[in-house]
Chains A and B, each alone.
Chain A
Amino acid sequence: MKANLGGLGHYAGPATLILSSLADGPKHGYALMQDIDAFSGVQLQPGTLYGAIQRLEQQGLIESLAEEGRRRPYRMTAHGAVVLQDHLKAQTQVSEVGLHRLSIGWTVA
């Protein structure tokens, strides 16, 4: 099933953060929130987190693992890794263009 993060609507941002966090190994929900806060400064609320997790799972980009007590870890699938890579490459291109144009036309303090 072909998927891209653009189809997730306003969950695309949180989905990017979740996939990026899962790129270095499986995590459960609260660990995802803490990791995302640490590397991006974004504090995802539980409702938004699980809204994105549900959609990522439906699209086959992540999968759940066996429960550990009350917590259930998630890991990224191979398909999810491909989608994340394509998405981040596109974002990188946009960042490079934006930063280059800023350096030419603007003096930012």
Chain B
Amino acid sequence: MARVARLLHWYPREWRERYGEEFEAVLSSSLSDGKGGFRLSFNVAREGTVARLESMGLVGNSAPPLERARASVMTIYLSMLGFLTSAAVLAFYDKGWQRAPALESMNKAGQIFGHSKAVHVFDRLVTSVTYRRLELAADRSHNGNSAAWRVFEKHQTRAFNTLHNSPAGQAFQHAEHNLHFVSGAPVVLNDVGHGATIVAITLLVGALTFVVASATRLRWRVDRKQLLVPLSLLSVSATVFVIGIIAYQAFQNIPLGQPGSEWMTVKWMLAGNFRFWPVVIFPSCVMASVVLAAVGGVILLRRVDFPPRMFRLQGALAVVSAGILCVVLISTLSWVTVLSEQAPDFLTSRDGGVFGTSFLPVFLVAMVVMIGTSWLVVTWSARCLRSIRTD
């Protein structure tokens, strides 16, 4: 009988009130006849889950229209959060893309320079005993204007001139002065994509703020105590996000060697390349903020009894958002396509990113998420509006 009770709990409360007793009798008879194996448990679990999803309006048409509209709005909200998080990760990861061809030409010139005879001569000069003695004498003088320091400076200048006046050195300086940055179509497409992302974020935050403000004015017969948890979660989400942004900006502004800069490297990780604030604190704050916003928003949407006109407005906003998300998708795809002509090494080079990975795998994962979530926004916007029309 315990097993029967456990199986019955796969179904939602309303279903159990209607069919629970007779369903229990069927289950008991099946178990008594030895037909209660894994197949029965799996079947009940599956059908019970479907019944729960139907009662929430997420599948099928048996739930009331307003429930289906509510489920649509929840799905759209979570999909937009997923889309915008992926877009933000992509924007964060592609920093420095405009310098990609410049870095490429600099790397090539630098490699030639690094293998030149001039570098070899320079190395021999600065590691020679005479040079070392001059450097020590200059240091011991503790005076940048001392005779010892002036002699050392003269030898140092001679060594660097030898380096840079060589043909390889001059070619490197020429490359430095004639850096070519990405321009034209990639810049425009990237700006369009980022601009559309900002518009989508503004739309989402604005819609959520409007819903929260309206719900707290008790226009839709809601118990204020019920709003405490979701509003708290949304407030903490916003606070944590702001903390993350401040932490990241603070890191950017701490000069090396200043108090607080000891957090910039964690030397027991990757030989000083690991950066604590942008790699740990900032992403942790942003992910926690997104999760809290998702949970808080879903709880708020489930507890507030919206009138049909509110769902109509949200459905219309969702349609507009779907259009904006499509703009982001198309511009991002176009940007990568044209960028691959101007900066082919950018997609596959291992120089980008704090984890030393290339841009391409991050881009592919982000695009899969963005395409999937934008499809959800488009289809569930239509479902939301259809549900309201049948109400």
- Residues A46 and B23 in contact, CB atoms below 8 Å apart: yes
Name B26's contact: one of A43, A49, A69 (CB within 8 Å).
A49
- Residues A51 and B51 in contact, CB atoms below 8 Å apart: yes
- Residues A45 and B24 in contact, CB atoms below 8 Å apart: no
B23, B39, B48, B51: most-surrounded residue (chain A CB, <10 A): B23
Interface mask (B191-204 → A, CB under 8 Å = 1, otherwise 0): 00000000000000
Interface mask (A5-44 → B, CB under 8 Å = 1, otherwise 0): 0000000000000000000000011100100000000010
Interface majority SS on A: helix, strand, loop or mixed?
Answer: helix
When distances are taken between beta carbons in the complex, the residues of chain B under 8 Å from A58 are 62
Name B22's contact: one of A45, A47, A51, A72 (CB within 8 Å).
A72
- Residues B25 and A46 in contact, CB atoms below 8 Å apart: no
B21, B26, B40, B46: most-surrounded residue (chain A CB, <10 A): B26
Could you say which interface size class chain B belongs to?
Answer: 20 to 34
How far apart sit A19 and B264, CA to CA, in the bound complex (Å)? 72
A48 CB-CB contact with B under 8 Å: yes
- Residues B23 and A29 in contact, CB atoms below 8 Å apart: yes
B293 CB-CB contact with A under 8 Å: no
B19 CB-CB contact with A under 8 Å: yes
Name B47's contact: one of A29, A30, A48 (CB within 8 Å).
A48
Name A51's contact: one of B26, B27, B47 (CB within 8 Å).
B47
A70 CB-CB contact with B under 8 Å: yes
- Residues B29 and A50 in contact, CB atoms below 8 Å apart: no
Q: Shortest distance in angstroms between A10's beta carbon and chain B's nearest beta carbon?
A: 10
Interface mask (B61-85 → A, CB under 8 Å = 1, otherwise 0): 0100000000000000000000000
Name A54's contact: one of B19, B27, B30, B40 (CB within 8 Å).
B19
How far apart sit A45 and B33, CA to CA, in the bound complex (Å)? 13
- Residues B25 and A47 in contact, CB atoms below 8 Å apart: no
How far apart sit A46 and B40, CA to CA, in the bound complex (Å)? 7
Q: Shortest distance in angstroms between A48's beta carbon and chain B's nearest beta carbon?
A: 6
When distances are taken between beta carbons in the complex, the residues of chain A under 8 Å from B40 are 45-47
Q: Shortest distance in angstroms between B215's beta carbon and chain A's nearest beta carbon?
A: 32
A71 CB-CB contact with B under 8 Å: yes
Name B139-197 residues within 8 Å CB distance of A.
none
- Residues B23 and A45 in contact, CB atoms below 8 Å apart: no
When distances are taken between beta carbons in the complex, the residues of chain B under 8 Å from A47 are 40, 43-48
Nearest A residue to B10, CB-CB:
A47
- Residues A70 and B24 in contact, CB atoms below 8 Å apart: yes
For the complex of A and B, the 9 pairs showing the least CB-CB separation, nearest first, are A47-B47, A45-B43, A47-B43, A70-B25, A29-B26, A47-B44, A30-B29, A72-B22, A30-B26
Chain B residues packing against A (C-beta within 8 Å) = 15, 19, 21-27, 29-30, 35, 39-40, 43-48, 50-51, 62
Given contact pairs A43-B35, A45-B43, A53-B19, enumerate 15 new A-B contacts (beta carbons under 8 Å): A30-B26, A45-B39, A45-B40, A46-B40, A46-B43, A46-B44, A47-B40, A47-B43, A47-B44, A47-B46, A47-B47, A50-B19, A50-B23, A70-B24, A71-B25
